[in-house]
Amino acid sequence: MSTPIRPAPAPRTPRPAAGGLHRFANPGQFLRLTERLLPWLWGLAGLVLAAGAAWALAFSPPDWQQGETVRIMYVHVPMAWLAMGGYAGLAITSLMGLIWRHPLADLAARELSPVGAMVTALCLATGSLWGRPMWGTWWAWDARMTSVLILFFLWVGHAALVRAFDDEERGARAGAILALIGAVNLPVIKWSVDWFNTLHQSASVTRAAAPGMHVDILYPLLTCAIGFTLAFAALVVARTRAAVMEKRLRQLQLAQARSHDTRPHA
Amino acid sequence: MSLTRKQRRIWIVLLAGLGLGTATALTLTAFQDNLVFFLAPSDIASRNPGPERAFRLGGLVESGSLARGETPEGKPEARFRVTDGPVTIPVTYVGVLPDLFREGQGVVALGKLGRDGQFRASEVLARHDETYMPPEVADALKRSGHWDPAKGAPPPAATWNTLAPKPEKQGG
């Protein structure tokens, strides 16, 4: 590095009329806030995940008929929740990017989708590994599994689409529209097991009646879910921070190149 | 009536969302009957898939109906009945049953319904219900007579999901 570039005095993107929540959406404010927040987020995620993993793998009981195989659930279910919750987050950031044209929302959406694709892939993979010994098949084209596969394609499609344009803003616009259209899939996934008859069983935890899970299995599951959610959030925040800094760096380099260009050629 | 550009974008997104939501809801309602993964025994009379058509039959394995045997070639063979209450269909299957298969458990069998009323399955998948419980809790429910797994689903979860079974007291 020949010239030390600090992110702090970088040229600010013109901010929309400041007020209310827009204060937190300001990229500079975001960097300052998350710089202090991120280590805590990582630490807490590690702590909760370690406790959750120990509880789930060593101290929770097996299921009376699935035996030890039930422990796949402690990864599968949090990944499924994150795949859908993360997509709801993508829809919200897309909405903010589309309506308020906020550059930070565009960046967050862009950095969210690879992580979302990863958790959805893990959900599908663990589900497949679980389905083989229990149901007797790796895969079935029932409504639940098919709609989650579509969710995976939406995540991957979004990640590819926003990066497919030379003009970042056009990419973000196209990605936001795709993300919002894809959001109709979320209720379909959630209620697929109630609307259609499927191989996949219906919800055990997120239902109106009492959870169909004994607390000795439910509590470690919730702990793992919180741990994975914190890790997911930390990963997305870290990626978004890097994207903000990358963007500033590019702007600086661009400004530098421009100032060289305008020098009189003699 | 003048809208700012932001307001206009909000309205466009709202209207597009409304249109898309309605279209999806209508499509799903229209396809609801075709998006079934399996037919229940009572659906078969009305749908009548015909003897040559392969389809999936889904229901509960009837209590006391399971007989395991062997074919002359030494392959495992299972005979059981699949029921959804009003209608029961006998099933034969040659092959290895999944771990979760038992009487009272949900099952999805792919095969053809013969003219003799026998369903010949080429693939049998077990369906899991949405309950998870430690072995001790299941044993306690069975011992106390609140639940016979072969007869169907466990009692409402609120009655057992915080149950603390007395450890290490088998048959006490």
* Helix H or strand E encompassing A36: helix A27-54
Q: How far is B109 from chain A (nearest CA, A)?
A: 11
Pick from A92, A93, A96, A99 the residue to mutate for testing the B interface (most B CBs within 10 Å): A99
Angle formed by the axes of helices A168-182 and A143-162, nearest 10°: 170
State the Cα–Cα distance between residues A44 and B80, nearest whole angstrom.
Answer: 52
Residue A55: DSSP 8-state: I
**Side chain identity, residue B121:** A
Q: Say what the pLDDT of residue A131 is.
A: 93
Provide, rounded to the nearest whole percent, the portion of chain A with pLDDT above 90.
68
- Between B139 and A117, the more confident residue is A117
ipTM of the prediction: 0.84
Contact B130 A137 (CB under 8 A): no
List B residues 6-45 in contact with A (Cβ-Cβ < 8 A).
6, 9-10, 13, 16-17, 20-21, 24, 28, 32, 35-38, 40
Mean pLDDT (whole number) for A219-225: 95
Closest approach of chain A CAs to the CA of B82, in angstroms?
15
At B82-101, the pLDDT tens digits run 998 889 999 999 988 888 89
Mean pLDDT in residue range A244-249: 92
Q: What pLDDT score was predicted for residue B167? A: 54
Burial group, residue A182, by CB count within 10 angstroms (0-12, 13-18, 19+): buried
**Record: contact B21-A184, CB cut-off 8 A:** yes
Please name which of B154, B61, B97, B36 lies closest in space to residue A135, comparing C-alpha atoms.
B97
CA A161, A162, A163, A167 dihedral sign is positive
- What pLDDT is stored for residue B169 in this prediction? 45
Q: Are the beta carbons of B20 and A181 closer than 8 angstroms?
A: yes
A39-92 per-position pLDDT tens digit? 999 999 999 999 999 999 999 999 998 899 999 999 999 999 999 999 999 999
B134: Cβ contacts below 8 Å, ≥ 6 apart: A61, A62, A63, A64, A214, A216, A217, B165
CA distance A117 to A141: 20
User: Is the per-residue pLDDT at A245 higher than 50?
Assistant: yes
pLDDT value, residue B49: 75
A and B: number of Cβ contacts within 8 A: 135
- Mean pLDDT throughout A207-222? 89
Chain B residues within an 8 Å CB radius of A143: 35, 37
The enclosing H or E element of A118 equals helix A103-134
Q: Which of A166, A174, A153, A32 is nearest to A110 (CA)?
A: A174
Confidence class for position B143, pLDDT limits 50, 70, 90: confident
Mean pLDDT of chain A: 88
Q: Label residue B1 exposed, middle or buried (CB < 10 Å: 0-12, 13-18, 19+).
A: exposed
- pLDDT of A9 strictly over 70: no
Contact B130, B119 (CB under 8 A): no
Structure tokens at A151: 């969710």
Query: In Å, how far from its chain's centre is CA B59?
Result: 6
Give yes or no for a contact between A145 and A98, defined as CB atoms under 8 angstroms apart: no
3-state helix, strand, coil in chain A (%, to 5): 75, 0, 25
Confidence of residue A127 (pLDDT cuts 50, 70, 90): very high
The residue assigned the tokens 């109709």 is A184
Residue B79, classed as helix, strand or coil, is strand
Please provide the average confidence, as pLDDT, over all residues in chain B.
85
Task: Say whether pLDDT at B34 is over 70.
Answer: yes
Span B50-63, pLDDT tens digits = 777 888 999 999 98
pLDDT at A1: 40
Q: Which residues contact B162 (CB under 8 A, 6 or more apart)?
A: A214, A215
Return the pLDDT at B108: 93
Task: Please state the rounded mean pLDDT for residues B42-71.
Answer: 85
CA triple A129-A133-A137, angle to 5 deg:
75
What residue type is assigned to position A42 of the chain? W
This model's pTM is above 0.90: no
- Asked whether the predicted pLDDT for residue B171 surpasses 80, the reply is no
Work out the pLDDT band at A180, boundaries 50, 70, 90: very high
Residue pair B114/B51 in contact by the 8 Å Cβ criterion: yes
DSSP code at position B165: P
A111, A243 Cβ separation under 8 angstroms: yes
> What average pLDDT does range A182-207 have in this prediction?
89
Is the minimum CB–CB distance between A72 and chain B shorter than 8 Å? no
